[in-house]
Every structure is written in C-alpha cells, then in structure tokens.
Chains A and B, each alone.
Chain A
Amino acid sequence: MTSQTGDLVTPWSDTRVSLPRHLYVHVPLCSSRCSYCDFFSTVDDGLPEHAAVVGHTVALLRGWLTPQVRWSALETLYIGGGTPTVLGPHLVQLIRSLTALIPLASEAEVTVEANPESFTPALASALAAEGVTRVSIGVQSLDDSALVGLGRCHDSATALAAITAGVDAGLDVSADLICGVPGVSAEAWERSLRGVVEAGVSHVSVYPLTVEAATPLARAIEAGETLAPDEDAVVDGMHAAAAVLGELGFDRYEVANYARPGHRSLHNTAYWTGKPYIGIGGGAHGMVDGAQARALGLAPEEGGDIGRARYAYAAHVLPGDQLQPLSSIEHLTVAEAAREDAMLGMRMSEGISEGLAVRARVTPALESLVADGLVTFADGRWRPTERGWLFGNEVFSRIWGVVG
C-alpha cells in the first residue's frame, strides 16, 4: 500500500496456485464383484499387494505436488472404491501417509467407504484414531435373499454389526440402500430403512437399482434368468424412503441422500456445489478451476476461456502403471461451468440461487420447468419439486440446454 513503484514483488509472497481443498482417493479393490456393479474395481486376491497399493496411491498424490502449486489444508478427504476396507491395516497406513503429505484442516471430514465383510470393530477404532470421522457402509439391503440376488458377499447380520462397529468407534455412519430390487416386498424395504436407522446411522443414501450395460445383472436379465427392476416398485421404493426417513428425522438434502441435521456429507456436497477437488487412483476424476488447471499443466498456460477442467484417470491405474495416466481432460468455459453448477445444484433440496441462475443464463429454462411443475421459485432460490427429482433428467437436460 505504501509502495508507489508497483513493480516490486515482495520476495516472500507465495505466487503458487492453491490447490483444491477436497481430495478423493480411489481404491479399486473389492472382496468380490456385485452383480450390478460397473465401477472400476478388481477382486482383491492378494495381488497387487496391499502395501504396493498404498505406495502407489501415495506416489500418485505426490505426482500432483509440483513447484507451481501448493496445498491448502483439506476440508474433506474421501477414500472410496471399490472397497477401501479390504486393505485392513494398510488403509490406516494409507490415510497416515496421505495426511502426512497434505494436512487436514481442523474439523475436516474424513470419510472411508466400507463394506460390511471387511469393516471390523478393530479397523473402525484404528481408523477413528487416525482422524477418520465418517464411514459410508454398503449395506444395500437387510433382506438376505436380496443380498444374494445382488451378488453381495455379506448378510444382513454382518451389515448391522458393521454399523454398530462404526457407531461404537464414534464415527458418523452412513448406509447405502438399493430400492426396487425384484422380489423385495414393500414391507421388507421398509424394514431395511428402519433397520439401519435403529442400528444408529445418521445418514442414508438410497439408490434405485439400475441395470448398467455389460454387468452380470444385465446379462442375467437378458438371458431371462432374473427379473428386471420394475419401474413402479422403484418409484414406490423412493417414495417410501422419503416418507419413512422423513418420519425418523432425516432430511432429504439431495435426490438420493438423507441426513440427520448436521450430518450431511460435506465431501459430496462439494461435488454438487462446484467446489474443485482432486481425485487420484484408477478411474478417479477430478475438477479444478481455470487457474489451477493452468498451474497443473491441464490447460494452456495462457488464453482461452477456461472456467474449469475435468480430468479422469485411466481405469487401469494400479501399482506398476505409469503415474500420470490421465485418460481425459475436458475444459469448460466460465459460462459452461456456471451451467454445470446450476444443473448439479438442482439435485439438492436447496436448489440454486437466483444469482447463479442469472450467471448461468438458465432462468428461461427454470421458468419452463416451473410451468411443468418440476421446479419452484421462492425466497430467491430455485428448487426442485418432488416430481422434479423423479424427472431429474428432464430438469438437468433443460438446464444444460440440450432440449428445447
């Protein structure tokens, strides 16, 4: 302020670009493969060795630490998969190594994805001691025959024990549930919903069973060996979840996510609100803003209207593979980034602000959605209606501008 020369650069000012405050780490191993799954993951048969997976993952992270960038303390860290808990004690070590490289902010949310068969009380307390605050458990159902049909390698008792292990270790526990599984009655579905809540979860994610191409489930349906999910059952299941969990004090804050007050997933909320994040590991994605993209060499150093860059790792990144095998980099303009935020924001009950809608130039699309009963406007915010959630594709397409 006092200098009039203006060309003096204070020698100690840090010109490095600050990196995202959200980190996702993908562990592509599972005990076995579920019939409906199309995530990148391989069966954990001891190879690659767990220690090698940890080493490789840490090396991947180190690859991002170039002289042009600096890390800020992480607000959220999410270890997902796959099934990170198959790493057992090595998972604890992985988190220790990662946080040694990048510090966690105080109050940081650290989530580990878990599957019941590999989430033991011992592991739960070891993780909690390492700074993990939250565990997201793939329960999917408390109906044992449904679990068999889905190709899950655990039963409902194991799932409930896993929840208890998390709760006892002082973790925030979330359960994933799948609705619309053929053969599961409305009563059985409601039992699953109430069962996980009684076991102590503070967060539930509810996904309709989706038949992804080229999965064993898709083949079984094709071959007539198993029933395809029935649309009515799926929708009824979604409605039942909203009703039951609402009654139990959960707030539906995103189309598929319910939380007790104060227990939302901050990491996932970052995805829906346009916060940059780094993702590492096979098949993982990341999103950085224009300045970060330039500093990381993900965009030309100058020129171009780059609002954000999205990148993806190739789906085969395992120990032994190269360290920077990004399979795709995509640039969005500032306007496109705003439109993407508008689209994602409409997944959430909060919707989006009037200001964002204006910046994204999507007000006319939103107005047409209001006319069709898919969106409401109140208190300066555009929000999805229940019907808007059910017909999300219509909402997102119109906002993204691919229809009309």
Chain B
Amino acid sequence: MTDPTLIRNFSIIAHIDHGKSTLADRVLQLTHTVADRDMQEQLLDSMDIERERGITIKAQAVRVMYDADDGQTYQLNLIDTPGHVDFTYEVSRSLAACEGVILVVDAAQGVEAQTVANAQMAMNAHLEIIPLINKIDLPAADPERVRHEIEEGLAIPADEAVLASGKTGEGVRDALEAVVRLVPHPVGDPEAPLKALIFDSYFDAYRGVVALIRVVDGSVSKGLKIKMMATSTVTDVEEVGVRRPANIPVDTLGVGEVGYLITGLKDPSLVKVGDTVTLARHGATQQLPGYREVKPMVFTGLFPIDGDQYPDLRDALERLQLNDPALIWDPESSHALGFGFRVGFLGLLHMEVVKERLEREFGLDLLATAPSVEYHAYRVKGDMIVVHSPQDMPDPGHLDHVEEPYLKATVLVPPDYVGAVMELADQRRGTFRDMQYLSATTVELHYEMPLSELIMDFFDQLKSRTKGYASLDYEYIGYRASELVKLDILLAGKPVDALSFVVHKDKAYARGKVLTEKLREIIPRQMFEVPIQAAIGAKIISRETVRAMRKDVIAKCYGGDISRKRKLLEKQKAGKKRMKSVGSVDIPQEAFMAILKVDE
C-alpha cells in the first residue's frame, strides 16, 4: 500500500490522433516501466485492430513509478483513453477513477470537437485539467494560437500549458511534474469498510473476469470475502495486482490505488462496470455513484452468409460481449437473409470494429444490413412500439406518429468552410442552433439533427466538403416526432426486407431513385432480367432494371481444360459465397450498405 499523498490518478484525454497513446509511450519509457528494447509505438493499443488502424478503442490503465523533482517517488496511475466519439463512454468511466486529466491538444490542429467534448466531461467531473500542447516538433505547430483556443474556446487557463512532443519526448517530464503538483492526491478513509469502483473489466480465458478497480475507502487483498453491491454477488478475492502494463500481483490495494481484481467469477454480468465492491460482511451501505448506462444508438442486422454459422455467430457475440458490455443483440429473422441478430452499437466505428473482429477472430463470414436507429412508433390505438429494424415498422394505416432520436451535433471548422457545413446540415434535416468563434481560425457550430441522418455517411461528407478540417462531436438529446415513411425495395417483384429503410417523407423520392440506380450498378447481371423497384406502401416511386446476362459458358473444354475449368467453377462459387441469394437473385454485400452512400 502506498501513502495516498504519493498517489496521482489521471487520464489522458484528447481528440482522436492528437497523440495520447504516443504520450503514454513516452511516460512508460521515462519512468522505466517498459525497457527501451520492449518499446513499440502506441504500446497500450494491444488489440490487433487498434494497432492496424492506429486507434485506441479500449481505455488502458497502467501504473508507473515517477521520481519527481521534489525527491519523492510517486505512484502514477495513468489511463490512456480513446478519442473517437463512439467510445466516449470509455472516457467517462476512466474519469471516474481519477482526480485529474492531461488534456492533449495538437499544436497544429488546435482545438477540435472531441477536445471540447472531453474537456467538458472532465469539468463536469470536477477534475483538475492540465492542458498540454503536443506535437510542438511539427513545422506547422502554432502553440500560441492553440493556447488562445484553449483559453477562449474551453475557458481553461492555458498560460501554464505544458508544451510537449510525444515524438521527441520534449516536455514529457514537465507534464508529469504538473501532474504531481496540480492533480490532488486521492482522499479516502483507510479504516472504513472497503469501497472500490469497477471502472473497467475484461475477460481472460484462464482467470475469468478481471475487474479494473479504483479503491476509494479501505483496502482489498487476496482471500478477502467481498460483495459486488449492484448484483449482490459474494465471492472471494483470488488475486489483486497492478498493471505495469502486464499484470503484477500485489498483496493489497489501498486507498486511492488503481489495480486489478480477480475473483474467479466467469460470468461478466455479475461483475458490472460501474458497480461498487465492498466487504461481504459489515460492508459499506452506500454505493458509489455508478456510471451512466451505455446505450446503443445504431442497430444493424448481422447475418451469417452460411446459415450453418448461426450458432457460431451467437457464441462469438457472447464471447465479445465479455469484453464489450456496450454490445447488445436480439435474434432477428429476415425473409431474405434467414436467421441472424439485430445488434446494437454505440456508433458506426464500433459497428465496424465489432464486425471485423467477428470475422477475423471467429472466422465468420457475415453480411451486415444498413445501420438504422431506434424508432418509436406510436400506434393509433395508443401504444408505442420500439423499432430497431425497418422491417418492424408498423403499417402506415396503424401509425399515429413516429419519433426518432435527435442529437446535438457540434462541428468545429475554420470560418471559410462554415457555408459548406451549413449546406450539408441543411440537406440532412439539421436545425441550426448557434455558432461561435473559438478563435479567429475556428468556429463552433451547433445543430440539432436526427441521428439517422448522421449515420448516413455524414462524417465522410463533412470531411470531404471541408477538406478534412471539420471535426464532429455529438450527444444524444432525445426523441422527436418526424414525418417518416418506410421505403421498400423490390427485386424481381419481391420485397427484400433487409433492404428496407426508414426515411423522411420529403427525401423519400430522391433517395429511392438514387438507391435504385446504385443497386443497378451493384447487382451483377443474372440469368434473368432483374427489375429493381423502390416503393412506399403499394406505390412504386422508382424503377431500374438489371439486364439479363446472355451467356455464361466456358466455351472450350478439352483434355487439358477439365481440371482447370472445374476449379474455375469452384472459384466462382467462392465468389458467389460473398453474395446472398434472395429468391433467384444473387445480391452482393455492398447492396445492403448502398443506402449509406446515397448522396443527393
């Protein structure tokens, strides 16, 4: 156990790519936590997908020992956090285990949307904020401008902002000194019954659920009988330890310390993130404030291309959920695609990451339908139906009205591009709220807009129309009534439920038309002509045709060709496997995503 006055708990927060993970690397090196020869870039990003995409998906806690200028050795518990808006909940959890944050801002990019969002989260949690202007080695670095943006835009004093480069290591020591000096040490009652917060957890195939905890009061050591308060689960402590970044067992975790806890429990639902750990007997009575529930916002159908993989998909989802409580799902069946699951995600990146992991780590071949949001359909007879999938939308005749989730979207952009952003937001049913200059070079715009519009390629459009300068953040603000209709797509005269989508009635014609055109390009020619129609109810609003293929034959087949041609047929089959046969029509996977790329 360490004297709490020698402990500092802090998170590193920033907009994506401003250099959090690289900064964490330098801290690990400077404190000799990781030997130079074991060092690799963004060391804490340990998942394959994180390393390939260069992003942090899961927050990572690590303990380092720092010899400060005052001659004392401090225990620093550092949490590297993801920057992408989908994973905001990871940031909020991490913050609950800390007394302070380093707010990293790229010296060239300046304040961006998630800088604002993360800084606000830290302020609301009453944490000490240490601004750090990073990447000062870049030729385009403009620390003075950025300092100004931090002060003006975020109302955070920045005259003492740390100037640093995660690349060269410059200023990293200054940052740790600032942490020691400014971040309050944890305060708790060592004599009180144990109270510890579970701020994260992961599943280990051998050890079961590993909870990451922050001790608030009391202490926890091996052999102790403990209780998870929310689930009233009583169990023994099998091991406690600290992450450096590998797990190192210790005897005891005391007040203010961050570490891991292994109980041998195998069921993640018993070890809830946000729950409080206390003593089994004479424990605390009052739980620590839990975190906000993470609520999936985006839903998509995941179907195995090979129907036999359905049970494997279920197993894989269960396995992934052990490490990703934000993932939820329900079985779904589609006439077109058979049996699958309607899976809820935090956002599009989360969806992509999960799909990729399912395919890569579990060897599944999946088809995803276009993402949709959760609609609330109020029926004439007075009840409300939650609709996660367009195909479940009640008939217009039974509908009183439909509500859809709205967001407050924050866009930060240089003044020159304000017009472009406004135009795009307008097309996407955005309602302008306000706009302010964070500095001469950055404008902050606020819009209210439906989430359903945002998941339709909004971010890519925003980026391309602003030459990459715009950044986006959003938060959910509630449900609002909209005039929505369900648009059905018919192939060869038959509705394909998995292609249906919900759209605002003013956009229905335009989107129906563009989508049928897109589908005509995507759907390969088949033995028969394939009419593609878009319909609202019984009314056809647009029509295209995929011409029939006229021949498909291997013309020459003599002695030498036979094996080769047989293999060719097998290869074609593999190609077809990437498609889904609906009735007699082979539909490639992109068709189900085409609606996302429909830009009027």
Residues of A within 8 A of B (CB): 24, 207-208, 210, 231-232, 234-235, 238, 255-256, 268, 271-272, 277, 279, 283-287, 310, 312, 328, 330, 340, 343-344, 347, 372, 389-394, 396-397, 400, 402-403
Q: Is the CB of A231 within 8 A of B550?
A: yes
- CB-CB under 8 A from A343, the residues of chain B are 566
Q: Is the beta-carbon distance between B552 and A286 smaller than 8 angstroms?
A: no
- Given known A-B contacts A285-B563, A310-B563, A397-B572, A347 and B551 have beta carbons under 8 A apart: no
Question: Shortest distance in angstroms between A383's beta carbon and chain B's nearest beta carbon?
Answer: 16
Task: Judge if B35 is at the interface, Cβ distance under 8 Å.
Answer: no
What string of 1s and 0s marks CB contacts (under 8 Å) between B562-580 and chain A? 1101100110110010000
B562 touches which one: A24, A344, A391 (CB < 8 A)? A344
Residues of A within 8 A of B527 (CB): 372, 391, 394
- Separation in Å of the A36 CB from the closest CB of chain B? 12
How many Å from the CB of A341 to the closest CB on chain B?
A: 11
From B549, B555, B573, give the contact of A207 (CB < 8 A): B555
The answer to whether B557 has its CB under 8 Å from any CB of chain A is yes
Residue B53 interfacial (CB < 8 Å): no
Distance, CA A24 to CA B560, complexed state (A): 10
How long is the Cα–Cα vector from A402 to B572 in the complex, in angstroms? 9
Kindly state the separation between the CA atoms of A277 and B549 in the bound complex, as whole angstroms.
Answer: 36
Whether A396 contacts B569 in the complex (CB less than 8 A), given A283-B560, A344-B562, comes out as: yes
A134, chain B: closest CB distance, angstroms: 15
Interface size on B, residues (CB 8 A): 22
Contact present for A312 and B560 (CB under 8 Å): yes
- In the bound complex, do residue A389 and residue B549 qualify as a contact, i.e. CB atoms below 8 Å apart? no
| Closest beta carbon of chain A to B552's beta carbon, Å | 5
- Which residues of A are found within 8 Å of B556, using beta-carbon distances? 207, 210, 256
Measured CA separation A24–B565 after assembly (Å):
19
Name the residue among B549, B553, B566, B573 with the largest chain A CB count within 10 angstroms: B553
User: Does B554 make an interface contact (CB < 8 A)?
Assistant: yes
Instruction: Please indicate the chain A residues that have their CB under 8 angstroms from the CB of B572 in the complex.
Output: 393, 397, 402
Q: Tell me if B558 is interfacial: C-beta within 8 Å of chain A.
A: yes
The residue that A393 contacts in the complex, of B550, B559, B563, B569, with Cβ under 8 A, is B569
CA distance A38 to B565 in the complex (A): 14
Known: A397-B572, A402-B570. A279 touches B560 (CB 8 A): yes
Asked if B558 contacts A268 (CB within 8 A), the reply is: yes
B563 adjacent to A391 (CB under 8 Å): no
Q: Is the CB of A394 within 8 A of B563?
A: no
Q: Establish whether residues A394 and B552, one from each chain, have CB atoms under 8 Å apart when the complex forms.
A: yes
**Are B555 and A271 within 8 A (Cβ)?**
no
List B contacts of A271 (CB < 8 A).
557-559, 562
Give B585 Cβ to nearest chain A Cβ, in Å: 14
Q: Is the CB of B555 within 8 A of A208?
A: yes
Chain B residue contacts of A390, Cβ below 8 A: 550-553
Known A208-B551, A396-B569, A400-B566: A277·B559 in contact at CB below 8 Å: yes
A391 and B555 alpha carbons, distance in the complex (Å): 10
**What residues on A are CB-neighbors of B559 within 8 Å?**
24, 271, 277, 279, 284-287
Whether A402 lies near B554 (C-beta < 8 A) is no
| 8 Å CB interface, B247-297 against A | none
A389–B527 Cα gap in the complex (Å)? 13
Contact yes or no, B551 A231, CB < 8 A: yes
Query: Contacts A255-B555, A390-B550 known; A402 to B573 CB distance under 8 Å?
Result: yes
B483 to chain A, nearest CB (A): 44
Chain B, residue nearest A40 (CB)? B560
Q: A256-B555, A391-B527, A403-B573 are in contact. Are A285 and B550 (CB under 8 A)?
A: no
Q: Are A392 and B554 in contact (CB under 8 A)?
A: yes
Taking CB atoms, residues of chain A closer than 8 Å to B552 are 390-394
**Shortest distance from the beta carbon of A241 to any chain B beta carbon, whole Å:** 11
CA distance A231 to B525 in the complex (A): 12
Whole-angstrom distance from the CB of A333 to the nearest CB of chain B?
14
- Chain B residues within an 8 Å CB radius of A231: 549-551
Bound Cα distance from A347 to B561, whole angstroms: 13
Q: CA A391 – CA B552 in complex, angstroms?
A: 5
Sort A-B residue pairs by CB-CB distance and give the 10 closest, nearest first: A392-B553, A402-B573, A285-B560, A235-B550, A390-B551, A393-B552, A207-B555, A397-B569, A271-B559, A235-B551
Q: Roughly how many angstroms separate A234 CA and B549 CA in the complex, as a whole number?
A: 12
Across the interface, name the chain B residue whose C-beta is closest to A235: B550
Q: Which residues of B contact A394 (CB under 8 A)?
A: 527, 552
Query: What are the residues of chain A within 8 A of B550 when measuring CB–CB?
Result: 231-232, 234-235, 390
- Are A238 and B560 closer than 8 Å at their CB atoms? no
- In angstroms, Cα B565 to Cα A210, docked, is 14
- B566 and A238 form a contact (CB under 8 A): no
Can you show 7 pairs from A to B with CB atoms below 8 A apart? A208-B551, A210-B555, A234-B550, A255-B555, A279-B559, A391-B551, A392-B553
Tell me whether A347 and B557 are in contact in the complex, defined as CB-CB below 8 angstroms, given that A238-B551, A393-B569 are known contacts. yes
Bound together, the chains give a CA A255 to CA B556 distance in angstroms of 9
Q: How far does the Cβ of A279 sit from chain B's closest Cβ, in whole Å?
A: 6
**Residues of chain B within 8 A of A389, CB atoms compared:** 553
In the complex, which residue of chain B has the Cβ closest to the Cβ of A24?
B559
- Chain B residues within 8 Å of A397, by CB: 569, 572-573
Q: Closest CB-CB distance, A304 to chain B, in whole Å?
A: 18
How long is the Cα–Cα vector from A207 to B560 in the complex, in angstroms? 16
CB closest chain-B residue, reference A232:
B550
B551 to chain A: closest residue by CB: A390
Q: A279-B559, A397-B572 are in contact. Are A340 and B566 (CB under 8 A)?
A: yes
Tell me, rounded to whole Å, the shortest Cβ–Cβ distance linking B561 to chain A: 8
| Cβ-defined contact, A310 with B554, below 8 A | no
CA distance A335 to B556 in the complex (A): 24
Measured in the bound complex, the distance between the Cα atoms of B555 and A396 in whole Å is 12
Most buried by A among B550, B570, B576: B550
| Cα distance A231–B558 in the bound complex, in angstroms | 23
Q: Which residues on the B side are within 8 Å of A347 (C-beta)?
A: 557
Look across to chain A and name the residue whose beta carbon is closest to the beta carbon of B567.
A330
B554 touches A285 (CB 8 A): no
- Binary contact readout B449-473 vs A (1 if CB under 8 angstroms, 0 otherwise): 0000000000000000000000000
Chain A residue numbers with a CB within 8 Å of B569 are 393, 396-397, 400, 402
Closest Cβ–Cβ distance, residue A3 to chain B (whole Å): 43
Instruction: For residue B102, give the distance in angstroms from its CB to the closest CB of chain A.
Output: 53
Instruction: Determine the distance from Cα of A193 to Cα of B593 in the docked complex, in whole angstroms.
Output: 48
Rounded to whole angstroms, the CA-CA distance of A232 and B551 in the bound complex is 9
Query: Distance (Å) between the CB of B563 and the closest chain A CB?
Result: 5
Tell me the chain B residues, 538-553 only, with Cβ under 8 Å from chain A: 549-553
- Chain B residues near A312 (CB, 8 Å)? 560, 563
- Least Cβ–Cβ distance between B35 and chain A, in angstroms: 50
Interfacial chain B residues near A391, Cβ < 8 Å: 527, 551-553
| Given A231-B549, A402-B569, residue A393 in contact with residue B562 (CB < 8 A) | no
